[in-house]
Amino acid sequence: MFEVFLKEVKELLRDRKTLFFVIALPIVIFPILFALLGFLASKTTFEAEQKVHTYYLANAEHSSEFAQMLFYHKSFKPYEGDEQFDSIDALKAAVKAGKIDVGIEIPKQQDKQLNVTPEQAVWHVVFNDAQSINFVYKRLEKLINKYAAGIRSATLEALGATKAHHSAILKPITITKVDTADKRENYGEKLGALIPYMLIPLVLMGASYPAIDLGAGEKERGTLETLLLTPVTRTQLVLGKFLTILTSSIACALVTVSSMAIWISIAGGIGVLDTIKDAFSSVSITDFMLIFALLLPVAVMLSSLVLAISIYARSFKEAQNYMGPLSMLVFVPIVVSVMPNMSLNTTTAWIPITNVSLAIKEIIKGTVDYSAVMMIFVASALLAGALLMFCIRWFSKESVLFR
């Protein structure tokens, strides 16, 4: 068995394509992609923040004070054309035509409402909200609220309330949130659910590429028959291939986690990703080892599955076609783990992959129930053993090997 394992590892190390996906991709490509996405997102956000929006204020004469506030705001400039847009429909058409970025309609009775009537004015802000990053409404809302605060204050003074009592009148009760969760639990709830999305698919990816080569690739090259003629039992042969795939799977996950930790440390040292660094600062080495231990039976499951699929496939291409649906199926239990009200308990501890995803999140949060973790180990180990036995039996069938 170990002779087969060493032979397959040597061939695996000579395969540049597999090495790229297992080692080079996690170390180099993922950080570059994340950095590129972060750069593009920050660049787009910066450009959106710096943009000066063209506005048209309908019925501006009924609120000259607000018109002045808007005119001198650094993020807005008035429409300089000759057309008049004095209705909501006209403002909509102007926004759609690109003549203005935003239109504001002030009700004609606005000047009569100051300080004397309890009626509530309705202002209409017309803009295109389909853009992914758009600060125009938030800026206008903030400006209008500031203007409304002035109206409120003047109205209260006209009714005889002093400025000292304005806060108590407008908001008689304030709420202060007292959170019993510590920083680790808060960050862990938000970020802990994302870790399985990265680790488990990577375990599958690390197993898929060598499995395709060691099963369907052997068939396509015609070397499987030669291996079957060697003085090695089929059980030893399949276990040697399985250990190679398992090693690759675990190595891919380890390299990715190590790479992520290094890049987070570097980014945190220069003031970037401080939140993520704070979230993982309280996670101990023991916690990381426990996460790794939970991934081991998952790696055994997925390695057994991909090897069985690869052995069944007639060609390299057919095996690749089978791996696509498998990847989608693996995501389903991970998605289940992030659904509302899903928590680690005696029931969910027996659901494959979902149990590991929930346990990883609880470990990051620092609220893991170790009795539930033991149940997960038992459930995962039983399923992993069953799948490995199935793979061994599958490899013994002539109808599978030579179909």
Nearest to 384 by CA among 327, 310, 300: 300
Distance CA 65, CA 110 (A): 12
Q: Does residue 213 contact residue 22 with C-beta atoms inside 8 Å?
A: no
Distance CA 227, CA 225 (A): 5
User: 171-207 pLDDT, tens per residue?
Assistant: 889 888 887 777 777 777 777 777 888 788 888 888 8
User: 105-126 pLDDT, tens per residue?
Assistant: 988 765 544 444 556 788 999 9
Domain ranges, ordered by start, for the chain: 2-29+183-401, 52-170
CA 209 to chain centre: 24
Distance CA 317, CA 6 (A): 26
Task: Spell out the per-residue pLDDT of the chain, length 403, in tens.
Answer: 656 666 666 666 666 666 666 666 666 666 676 677 667 777 777 777 788 899 999 988 888 889 999 999 988 999 999 899 988 999 999 999 999 999 999 887 655 444 445 567 889 999 988 765 568 888 899 999 998 888 888 888 888 888 888 888 888 898 888 877 777 777 777 777 778 887 888 888 888 888 888 888 888 888 777 777 778 788 888 888 899 899 888 887 777 767 766 766 665 555 545 556 666 666 777 888 888 888 889 999 999 999 999 988 888 888 888 888 888 888 899 988 888 788 888 889 999 999 999 998 888 888 888 888 999 999 999 999 999 999 988 888 888 877 6
Q: Is the pTM of this model over 0.85?
A: no
Fold of 52-170: D-Maltodextrin-Binding Protein; domain 2 (3.40.190)
